Amino acid sequence: MLQSLPAQRREEVLYNSSRRYTSFVDLEFFDRLTHLSEAVQVSYSMRFARDISVNDLKSSNVILSGSQDADPWIELFEPQMNFVLRDDLAHGIRSFWNRRPHSGERNDYVVKQDEYGVLAYLPNLSRTGNVLIVEGTSVAGTQAISDFLFSGNSLDSFLRTIARKDGSMPHFEILLKSRPLEGSASGSQIVAFRTY
């Protein structure tokens, strides 16, 4: 399979397969999670993406943080997702593709002055549990999602608007926009969302 790739791409794949990369934003995200009272009451483990197996994604509740280049497992959930991260390496363009735009939405949310992130709460691969995906176009995009989850009542307000009449919560995706300031997110706003 590697032989069919161009030489430069083959080198990238070999390089990426040998490294263990965790951003500081992912570490902050994990730290915030471990301080939740719900996290103290249950058993959990943190693993590098390269140490996860498909069976983990079938039988467990999982949180995947990063982007596809840092966590390629996210790609397995893309068929369920509306907002999909795309990289046009030849032109240096990174964006979230909006597969089925609603009225007033763009087809592509391209990184220019703003960064973007997706928070997706979806069924796991066997539909016996759930997966939470935290994926950004950059560190600032991922940080915007973390801030949305843990700061203020942004998440609570959103969940109240999508809750079903019986109080249960549907699966969902949120596309967030933030303005980077010195490499960090400076606030965020919901650009679009979907419920399933």
pLDDT at 90: 81
- Amino acid 144 reads A
Tell me whether residue 14 is in a domain: no
Distance in angstroms (rounded) separating the CA atoms of residues 137 and 93 = 10
Q: CA-to-CA distance for 148 and 187, rounded, in angstroms?
A: 8
Give CA angle at 177 (173, 178), nearest 5°: 135
> Domain count of the chain?
1
- Three-class secondary structure of residue 70 per DSSP: coil
Tell me, yes or no, whether 166 lies in a domain: yes
Instruction: Please report the pLDDT score of residue 15 as a whole number.
Output: 65
Is the residue at 106 inside a domain? yes
Average pLDDT for 68-97:
88
Looking at the domain assignment, is residue 8 inside a domain? no
Q: Note whether residue 15 is domain-resident.
A: no
Confidence of residue 102 (pLDDT cuts 50, 70, 90): very high
Boundaries of domain holding 63: 23-195
pTM score, whole prediction? 0.79
Does an H or E element contain 12, and which? helix 7-18
What does the pLDDT average to over 75-104?
A: 93
Q: What is the mean pLDDT of the chain?
A: 83
For residue 47, being part of any structural domain is answered with yes
For residue 6, being part of any structural domain is answered with no
How far is the C-alpha of 75 from the C-alpha of 73, rounded, in Å? Answer: 5
Domain assignment present for 28: yes
Any idea which of 4-13, 89-98, 149-158 has the lowest mean pLDDT? 4-13
